[in-house]
Structure 1
Amino acid sequence: MVRRNIGILLCILALTLGGCRGEDSGAYDRGMQALASADYETAMGEFQKAANEDGRKAEAYRGEGIIYLRRQDYAHAVTLFSLSLQEMKFENQEFREDVLFYQAEAYQGTGQRQEAFSIYEELEEGVNGGQACFMRGRMYLLEGDKDQAEADFQRAVEKDGSYETYVRIYEAYSALNLEADGAVYLEEALKLSPSDAADYYQEGRVHYYLEEYDQAKASLNQAVDGGNQEAVMLLGHICLETGDTSGARALYRNYLEKNTRPAAAYNGLALCDIAEGNYDSALSNVKKGLECNDEEENENLLYNEIVIYEYKLDFDTAKGKMQEFLERYPGNEDAVRENKFLQSR
């Protein structure tokens, strides 16, 4: 599954960013590990222990806020992020900005747009000013104000004219079926000159979104030659989209042999199996992928597991797994739409 997640794409930091303490607290680190695995009950318990027993309130409240944010309990998330900022014992701008980005997203969830705008205005002057302009522009776009959105997107690329910024702007338009508007930014991205494997991967993504598959493959192959493994996965996806299942399977197997995070490769192999109608093998590959305990890929694996049961016409199992999935990932828009279909079966 390819998802267009338009939420904040900040990295969850396992290290202490609050400037409060440098040593390992135990409870806080366990909480972060549980959060990364979407085990929110365990994470909440550990964060509460870190706040009450280990004195790491700033970090712990931030962690609790992220849990509420993921559960779409935005009001509680806003409160916890405020508490996190209040409990900072030392000045740490990186931590403060991180919390503010999350809080702005929570304010959007509660409908308090002006509070979110105020935060982005402050963040625009920080080290992640481009990110702030992008997020504010995305808010305008969601509200239908394309002129204000475009102005902020221009500010975003002026502050951070990276491939990633251009691609994220395109994805924001694409999420609203405005691909033609977003394609302008992809064309601008192609004016950049790639300098390393990571850049060639990003250039390949741009060509992919423009459906220029031959050019995408050329850029991605250069990225692969430079050791970029993400490019292997996108190459496999392009092969699947163009009907070259055997080529995709070869790429995913190659990735499986050479990469230390095999879950994505198992997911790719499952997609190949689905394309060939081999649903039992697809379920086997999903199971192998889930055994890797890679939370970054688990969401895709679990979603595809539901799809496989649908193809097998086992709608009762699919419905049960969908309910579990939505409890874990309530913000997955693809799953919400798919659930409506399932309820009609």
Structure 2
Amino acid sequence: MWNKLEKKVVILAVVPFLLTGILTGCTDEKQENEDAYRQIGINCMKSNDYEGAISAFDSALDQKIGKIGDEEVDICYYKAAAQYANGDTDGALATYTSLVDYDDTNSNAYYLRGVLYLSMQNNAAALADFSSAVANTDASYELYLNIYQQLTQAGLSTEAQDYLDKALELKGKTADDYFWRGRIYQTTGKYEDAIEQYKAAIDKKKTEANLYLAQVYEAQGDTDTAETYYQAYIDSGIADSEAMNALGKVEMNQQNYKEAIEYFKSGLEMDEVTNEQELLKNLVLAYENNRDFESAKQTMETYLSKYPDDEEAKREYTFLCNR
């Protein structure tokens, strides 16, 4: 999923025309070509063909002969994801820096480059970019929490705590305020505080809080209450593939394998599936536990066609073939 900072790419790619000003003469045909190449690039990424994706995104960007807009920036996000996944860290950093030079007030760009610097163990540069990210946007629970998580993973616990403290200093009584404070408490293992905040968010119609409240109860070992809130989230109509996977796992733990199978299958059938690999593996396991070995074998064949390098899955497939 591409709509949140933590689910976005580590870097943005910038093509040279971003720095050359405004061009004119865009045609409907070129717009159609740009859209088509963009979709080809996305399809290539789904099949892990990152070089093909980069080529397609470049072709999409080549179609633009007018003022740069949101669609071109969006394509750059996708291109950057492909570049990073393809291992071109140095090139990624160069193009990312070009974007910062193009718009030195872009908070998101500073944050993403900071994440990239952390991956390169350039902590000083990362901290500078995180500071710029905060300076160029309104105070944001989400941004503070993302920075906290990145710094924690990098072993910079003192610096990470500073950002968490700043987040908790934010005041407010809106549904989003309660929701994000719940996320912070959940992240730090303060479950009782998280429950209080999430329930306040739900009272203010923040439906998404049901999902995270369910996770908190599950972490505490209260699977019955967790299932209640998972189900409330699904019944709301906004559930995603992650929620379906979580509820399927709850049913698995309770040995309700048929119900687990239905949840995993529902997750895989969604328009946008962000956790396909995990869903497929869990579906295989649910079929096996339900003693439907033929379905398990067929599902494993689908899995291996998409993830052929999984050695453990290959061994499991051999087992299924020999039953």
Bin of the TM-score, shorter chain as denominator length: 0.7 to 0.9
Tell me if structure 1 keeps the 8 A contact 2:40–2:53. yes
Q: How far, CA to CA, are the matches of 2:115 and 2:297 in structure 1?
A: 33
- Identical residues among aligned pairs (%): 29
Tell me if structure 2 keeps the 8 A contact 1:120–1:133. no
Amino acid at match of 2:37: Y
TM-score with structure 1 length normalisation? 0.71
Tell me if structure 2 keeps the 8 A contact 1:302–1:325. yes
TM-score with structure 2 length normalisation? 0.75
For 1:68, the equivalent position in structure 2 comes to 44
* Distance apart, 1:310 and its partner CA: 6.4
* Distance apart, 1:61 and its partner CA: 1.5
Correspondence list, 1:195-210, <5 A:
195-210=173-188
Matched, 1:149 2:150: no
> For residues 104 and 341 of structure 1, do their structure 2 counterparts lie closer, same or farther at Cα, with a shift above 3 Å needed?
same
Matched, 1:287 2:288: no
Q: How far, CA to CA, are the matches of 2:164 and 2:212 in structure 1?
A: 17
TM-superposition CA deviations, 1:264-297 (whole Å, max 9, x none): 6544432221222322331133334545x34246
Tell me if structure 1 keeps the 8 A contact 2:10–2:116. no
Tell me if structure 2 keeps the 8 A contact 1:171–1:182. yes
* Distance apart, 1:69 and its partner CA: 3.0
Secondary structure of the corresponding residue to residue 169 of structure 2: coil
For 1:36, the equivalent position in structure 2 comes to none
Q: Which runs of 5+ in 2 are unaligned?
A: 12-24, 317-323
Q: How far, CA to CA, are the matches of 2:68 and 2:98 in structure 1?
A: 15
TM-superposition CA deviations, 1:173-197 (whole Å, max 9, x none): 56x5748464543333222224521
Q: How far, CA to CA, are the matches of 2:27 and 2:78 in structure 1?
A: 22
* Distance apart, 1:262 and its partner CA: 7.4
Tell me if structure 2 keeps the 8 A contact 1:68–1:74. yes
Among 112, 118, 135, which residue is 2:112 paired with? 135
Tell me if structure 1 keeps the 8 A contact 2:6–2:146. no
* Distance apart, 1:5 and its partner CA: 6.7
Q: What is the aligned length?
A: 295
Matched, 1:254 2:207: no
For 1:94, the equivalent position in structure 2 comes to 70
Tell me if structure 2 keeps the 8 A contact 1:263–1:294. no
Matched, 1:166 2:144: yes
Q: How far, CA to CA, are the matches of 1:298 and 1:178 in structure 2?
A: 27
Correspondence list, 1:179-198, <5 A:
180=157, 182-198=160-176
Tell me if structure 1 keeps the 8 A contact 2:115–2:150. yes
CA RMSD of aligned residues (A): 3.6
TM-superposition CA deviations, 1:127-151 (whole Å, max 9, x none): 9822212221222222222232222
Tell me if structure 2 keeps the 8 A contact 1:255–1:262. no
For 2:254, the equivalent position in structure 1 comes to 276
For 1:37, the equivalent position in structure 2 comes to none
Matched, 1:215 2:216: no
Matched, 1:104 2:105: no
Q: How far, CA to CA, are the matches of 1:286 and 1:83 in structure 2?
A: 37
Q: How far, CA to CA, are the matches of 1:208 and 1:257 in structure 2?
A: 23
Secondary structure of the corresponding residue to residue 38 of structure 2: helix
Q: How far, CA to CA, are the matches of 1:107 and 1:99 in structure 2?
A: 12
Q: How far, CA to CA, are the matches of 2:186 and 2:98 in structure 1?
A: 35
> For residues 274 and 20 of structure 1, do their structure 2 counterparts lie closer, same or farther at Cα, with a shift above 3 Å needed?
farther
> For residues 311 and 211 of structure 1, do their structure 2 counterparts lie closer, same or farther at Cα, with a shift above 3 Å needed?
farther
Q: Which runs of 5+ in 1 are unaligned?
A: 11-18, 23-50
For 2:19, the equivalent position in structure 1 comes to none
> For residues 302 and 134 of structure 1, do their structure 2 counterparts lie closer, same or farther at Cα, with a shift above 3 Å needed?
same
Q: How far, CA to CA, are the matches of 1:261 and 1:128 in structure 2?
A: 34
Q: How far, CA to CA, are the matches of 1:241 and 1:279 in structure 2?
A: 21
Matched, 1:234 2:235: no
Q: How far, CA to CA, are the matches of 2:8 and 2:304 in structure 1?
A: 17
Q: How far, CA to CA, are the matches of 2:252 and 2:105 in structure 1?
A: 41
> For residues 308 and 157 of structure 1, do their structure 2 counterparts lie closer, same or farther at Cα, with a shift above 3 Å needed?
farther
Secondary structure of the corresponding residue to residue 228 of structure 1: coil
* Distance apart, 1:72 and its partner CA: 3.0
